[in-house]
Amino acid sequence: MIATPKFESFPGNIYLKSGAVLQGYDLVYETYGELNSDCSNAVLVCHALNASHHVAGIYEEDEKNIGWWDNLVGPGKPLDTNRFFVIGVNNLGGCHGSTGPSSINPLTGKQWGGSFPFVTVEDWVEVQSRLADRLGIKQFAAVMGGSLGGMQALQWTIDKPEKVKNAIVVAAAPKLSAQNIAFNEVARQAITSDPEFFDGNFYEHGVVPRRGLKIARMIGHITYLSDDAMNKKFGRDLREDILKFSLDIEFQIESYLRYQGDKFADSFDANTYLRITKALDYFDPAASTGGDLAKALAKSQSDYLVVSFTSDWRFSPQRSREIVKALVDNQLNVSYAEIEAPHGHDAFLMDDAVYHNLIRTYFDRIWEGLQ
Amino acid sequence: MIATPKFESFPGNIYLKSGAVLQGYDLVYETYGELNSDCSNAVLVCHALNASHHVAGIYEEDEKNIGWWDNLVGPGKPLDTNRFFVIGVNNLGGCHGSTGPSSINPLTGKQWGGSFPFVTVEDWVEVQSRLADRLGIKQFAAVMGGSLGGMQALQWTIDKPEKVKNAIVVAAAPKLSAQNIAFNEVARQAITSDPEFFDGNFYEHGVVPRRGLKIARMIGHITYLSDDAMNKKFGRDLREDILKFSLDIEFQIESYLRYQGDKFADSFDANTYLRITKALDYFDPAASTGGDLAKALAKSQSDYLVVSFTSDWRFSPQRSREIVKALVDNQLNVSYAEIEAPHGHDAFLMDDAVYHNLIRTYFDRIWEGLQ
């Protein structure tokens, strides 16, 4: 499946949750499949920390650039693009083509850099909703996502209840724990203390805070994998036959993490990373209802599929069960699955048969409802 | 109890596991209580990553500087210095007075810096053993420690089996997991990528890699606490009343971690930190017996107390049980306690009644054996 990025400009003001105002913004997005005549088969896939609008397929000119959820989304796949019209959007503040910190601030004619506003999950829902309006979609057959993407799906059912028929919330949490915030904060400190960060204005110095981004990514990566999965994949395997007793790489896990960190530092924008981790920290839909998540979800009209993975210690099954409880308290239709999976948080991106069959079956049901 | 650091110089060569040779070294240590006439009441307390020889008591000129295990060690305390002669030694490669990276290399007349050799748990046991010889101690009533200190206690019973009557191994593991190594590696990358690290020769530049050390400490700190303990202590509490939507501190947990990181960066040597995390990575007594820990412990003549804490996810109870199994396989006398504690890895430093009573009872038994 060949994917083609599309662009839409939204010239009007948008008032962000932070109080900041953006005088217009652009979105890059991709669509897969065909929108049917009554516009009822649209599915919005929301991305998490490190991903983008490139959900599925490949690019004609870059066949190795495969969409991040390509194992799940495509013709004949669990989210079947022969049936559904699937949309992926690069979130506002991103670094893959939508307006973000590296964009030009129209008021100054220079790149935003450190002055780009902080965005929230609520802001993203609003922005995605405006794109849906533009495309003629009055109600999504489903809004889905994993991790931070799942949080967006949940927020959709709070902010735009009439626009979401089904929400699929995978490997998410109703809010970050202190430990979650702590890991984010260390990553941010690594970036902002990099001498090449320049308060976020590194573009004009022609540098990138690579060292900080690398550390941030390495920390993140550890939290995406389970201890068991890491032990199985790397254990204490040495990169060479003998110990060197130096700061060189001794163990394979060190080599792997450094490689992942370097790759990420070469491709991701530091200001975007800071803003997305902050959006994670800020996400707390129950904050406005005195901590009562059920109350926050009281107006929801959606059906839900909530999925967690046993070995996920970033957003453990316990966190998904908190969401399920709030939904059940509202007498909403909820399916909940706790998938036995060894991979940790990253399981939501893996091609696991039980997991994928579950998603397939759920979309079969949605499809039948549309007929 | 007033503590007074003491010094001993060891002028002869010491051949380290790495193959490096040190032409003599100094040790700083403290002792509490009196050595009895047959030198049978000595207890060696080994320190972990962030601690030192200052195990208990205060300094006459600095009453706020309390020993790191003062709640456990002292007159009338679980390890009762009215009965036992307790020794704390700053490990070789340390930064509290023993020969380490900031010491003068006699061959160059300059500080060692990045050229100080990498040390191992085996090296520390050898160095501690030489100090014991100097003090006239032929056999320790007990060698004990938590975390990396517990690993030293375990290694003692392998390398010097006739010199250890009891080993008390708290919150330890028989070797690091891939995830343990991964966290250490991120900390090291943070330090070595700090532009003020200068390959470990920052002393001569009159700077300190503060940013790297701060990140390293923040990462470490997260792994010392349980998710639950962090949630109870900090949760999502804000530092001020409202969100600021900036890179400023929003949550109390961020403030706490930054403070801990700054404090550590002001007091700890980066080269020492690198070497101690490497010593942790290298620790694997079963490596020389084909992965068979029981075989590695075959010559042990000690009795053991092994202690773990339920909420410790750095070195979980499972890791302690691996040690216990290897000891039981050797038909050694082992007491094992899994303490119900909410604090995570740091529980080994806490004043928990069940835990402290256990240690007290075990030392009562040792004491009776000496009469």
Smallest Cβ–Cβ distance between A230 and the set B178, B230, B254 belongs to: B178
Q: Is the pLDDT of residue A241 over 90?
A: no
A chain contacts of residue B247, beta-carbon cutoff 8 Å: 188, 192, 274, 278
CB contact under 8 A, A117 and B245: yes
Q: Does A186 touch chain B (CB under 8 A)?
A: yes
B chain contacts of residue A117, beta-carbon cutoff 8 Å: 245
A chain contacts of residue B17, beta-carbon cutoff 8 Å: 245
Whether A127 and A92 have beta carbons less than 8 Å apart is answered as yes
List, for residues A4-30, the tens digit of each pLDDT value.
Answer: 999 999 999 999 999 999 999 999 999
User: If contacts are CB pairs under 8 Å, which of residues 113-172 in chain B contact chain A?
Assistant: 117-118
Closest chain A residue to B262, measured at CA: A189
A chain contacts of residue B242, beta-carbon cutoff 8 Å: none
When pLDDT is cut at 50, 70 and 90, the band that residue B241 belongs to is: confident
In which residue are the tokens 């490990």 written? B91
Handedness of CA A5, A9, A14, A20 (dihedral sign): positive
Greatest C-alpha distance within chain A? 67
User: If contacts are CB pairs under 8 Å, which of residues 242-301 in chain A contact chain B?
Assistant: 243, 245-247, 250-251, 253-254, 257-258, 261, 274, 278, 281-282, 284
- DSSP-assigned letters across all residues of B335-356: EEEEE--SSGGGGGGS--HHHH
pTM greater than 0.90: yes
Burial class (CB in 10 A: 0-12, 13-18, 19+), B104: exposed
Q: What is the CA radius of gyration of chain B?
A: 20
Please provide the size of chain A in residues.
371
pLDDT over 90 percentage in chain B = 99
A chain contacts of residue B177, beta-carbon cutoff 8 Å: 227, 230-231
Q: Does B207 touch chain A (CB under 8 A)?
A: no
Catalytic residues of B: 147, 312, 345
The crossing angle, in degrees rounded to 10, of helices A178-192 and A210-224 is: 160
d(CA B243, CA A16): 13
List, for residues A277-308, the tens digit of each pLDDT value.
Answer: 999 999 999 999 999 999 999 999 999 999 99
Q: Does B201 touch chain A (CB under 8 A)?
A: no
Q: Mean pLDDT in chain B?
A: 97
Whether A87 and A140 have beta carbons less than 8 Å apart is answered as no
Tell which residue, B45, B123, B119, has the closest CA to residue B271.
Answer: B119
Closest chain A residue to B252, measured at CA: A178
The one-letter code for the residue type at A197 is: F
List, for residues B13-58, the tens digit of each pLDDT value.
Answer: 999 999 999 999 999 999 999 999 999 999 999 999 989 999 999 9
Going by C-beta distance under 8 Å and a sequence separation of 6 or more, which residues neighbour residue B205? B196, B198
